[in-house]
Amino acid sequence: MEVLTLGQKIKKLRKEKKMTLKELAGERITAAQISHIERDKSYPSHDLLEYFARQLRVSIDYLLESKEMQIKKLSESLILKSEIHIRSKEYKEAKQDLKVIIETCEKHEVKSVCAKAKFLYGIINLKEKKYHEASNLIEESLILYVSTDNTIGVLDCYKELGKLYLEQNIYNVALDKFVQGQKYLNNKDYQDYDREFIFLTNIAYANVKMDRHDEGIKYSQKAKEIEEKIKDYKERGKNLLLMGTSYIEKQEYESAKHYLNRALEVFEKENKKDEEAKIYVKMSNIYHNMNNLKDALDYAKKAYKLKEDHEDTGFVKVIHNYIEVLISLKRYEHAIELAKRGLSLSIKNRSKVLECKSLEMYSKVSKISGNNEMALECLLKALEISKEFEDKKTRADIYFKIAKIYSGRSFEKEKEYYTKGIELYKELDIIR
């Protein structure tokens, strides 16, 4: 993970743009002065920073970004990726990413990110039944979370530590961890019914295992009271998914990711694979829109893996998203294979709408990869199918796509299909 000083950033950007010191200096300063700045021997004025930002085509905010902010940004995608690996039981891959984060964070003393990475590393060890290592990592994470006043982080550490000792039948220590978690929650005056319910039920369970039946009954009753306050998981997950979707439409991607990750937690508890796949697709779309194709591909693959055994209409939609990412990555051969599968499944599911969409996707990949004849054939088939479900907007868009294929090949055909598309847009009052 590369964390740069101001001077290192300027040097890196200059090298990327293949500029010499003299070229960057221009008439503004000397090459020697820039050399000093790049070696962090001197610090530029605000005016000079503005000059560098213009010449290097970056924002001043980027140049002034602290090491801590850089690490947080660089770690975000690695943290998300490691969480996906953990959900998929790909622990080796997750550990590799988390080690990089932990080493970088400890070097630069970035506690907030280090806490999350150590917590996740501890969870992996817990899943692998490496209790001693898990305990050490989660305890270290707990200390870091307390120091950064991260309430949710602290609560999750107490919860996982309690579970860790329960698995080993060390009920007195488990009880202590759950009690500490519940007290911390109450002292913070922080409303979190889900976590409170978990603490209370486990406190009840640990007491019963230690033959403290009166205490067990007391905490079971408290847990029941909390349970009544908890909203239905399914409905709450839907609401969180809707919130995430609305933020995607507003292009407020950080907020979108926040709500989608919360929705994912709900659906995972309910084992709702279809909903999980929908969220992975939306996360893929977010990263695709941000031009982060690596993470877009990771999420597309996860959605595909969740749905590939179902072969329903939802899987076809997952395939279409996967194809879009592959097109951006110029992996046309793989995209063609998926386009064929998507089309086959659309026909199998007897969905004319999806069959039409699958043919459009097949056409798109064919056209980009240079096979205009196949692209045209697919669109003409899609056009016929679109007439069956009376969607004028879809039909108009197909007319425009056919016109583009004829562009430079047949002016008459191009004009014919373009005119048909325009006529439908006028009928729909999209244009006047």
pLDDT tens digits, residue range 111-158?
888 999 999 999 999 999 999 999 999 999 999 999 988 898 999 999
Q: Angle of helix 6-16 relative to helix 31-38, nearest 10 degrees? A: 120
Confidence of residue 232 (pLDDT cuts 50, 70, 90): low
The pLDDT of residue 431 is 67
Taking the CA atoms of residue 270, residue 84, residue 117 and residue 255 in that order, the dihedral angle to the nearest 10 degrees is: -70
Residues 46, 92, single domain; the answer is: no
Percent of the chain with pLDDT over 70: 96
Please report whether residue 12 resides in a domain: yes
Residues 156, 206, single domain; the answer is: yes
Contacts of 63 (CB under 8 A, 6+ apart): 6, 9, 10, 49, 52, 53
Amino acid letter, residue 421:
G
Please report whether residue 117 resides in a domain: yes
Residues 52, 82, single domain; the answer is: no
Residues 155, 160: Cα–Cα separation, whole Å = 9
Residues 86, 97, single domain; the answer is: yes
Whether the model pTM is above 0.85: no
Residue 296 above 80 pLDDT?
A: yes
Residues 55, 107, single domain; the answer is: no
Domain count, the chain: 2
Which of residues 29, 44, 64 is at a domain's end?
64
CATH code of residue 81: 1.25.40.10
Local structure of 269: helix, strand or coil: helix
Residues 32, 98, single domain; the answer is: no
Task: Write out the residue range of the structural domain in which residue 58 sits.
Answer: 6-64
Please report whether residue 241 resides in a domain: no
Q: Which of 8-17, 78-87, 125-134 has the lowest mean pLDDT?
A: 78-87
The answer to whether 351 and 336 have CB atoms below 8 angstroms apart is: no
CA nearest neighbour of 282 among 305, 264, 307, 308? 264
Which of residues 16, 49, 64 is at a domain's end?
64
Q: Angle of helix 372-386 relative to helix 352-368, nearest 10 degrees? A: 160
Residues 205, 159: Cα–Cα separation, whole Å = 14
The pLDDT of residue 176 is 96
Q: Which of 34-38, 89-93, 248-252 has the lowest mean pLDDT?
A: 248-252
Radius of gyration in angstroms for the set of CA atoms belonging to the chain, rounded to a whole number: 28
Residues 83, 146, single domain; the answer is: yes
Residues 129, 171, single domain; the answer is: yes
Which of residues 212, 245, 269 is at a domain's end?
212
Q: Which of 99-113, 234-248, 256-270 has the lowest mean pLDDT?
A: 234-248
Residues 125, 182, single domain; the answer is: yes
Q: Does 91 or 2 have the greater pLDDT score?
A: 91
What mean pLDDT is reported for the chain? Answer: 87
Residues 31, 72, single domain; the answer is: no
Contacts of 35 (CB under 8 A, 6+ apart): 21
Please report whether residue 275 resides in a domain: no
CATH code of residue 22: 1.10.260.40
Residue 70 above 90 pLDDT?
A: no
The answer to whether 417 and 400 have CB atoms below 8 angstroms apart is: yes
Residues 96, 156, single domain; the answer is: yes
Residues 105, 87, single domain; the answer is: yes
Phi-psi region of 271 (alpha: psi -120 to 50; beta: other; left: phi over 0): left
DSSP state of 190: -
Residues 222, 315: Cα–Cα separation, whole Å = 43
Residues 30, 49: Cα–Cα separation, whole Å = 15
Confidence of residue 381 (pLDDT cuts 50, 70, 90): very high
The pLDDT of residue 318 is 92
Instruction: Please compute the mean of the pLDDT values over residues 320-345 and round it to a whole number.
Output: 91
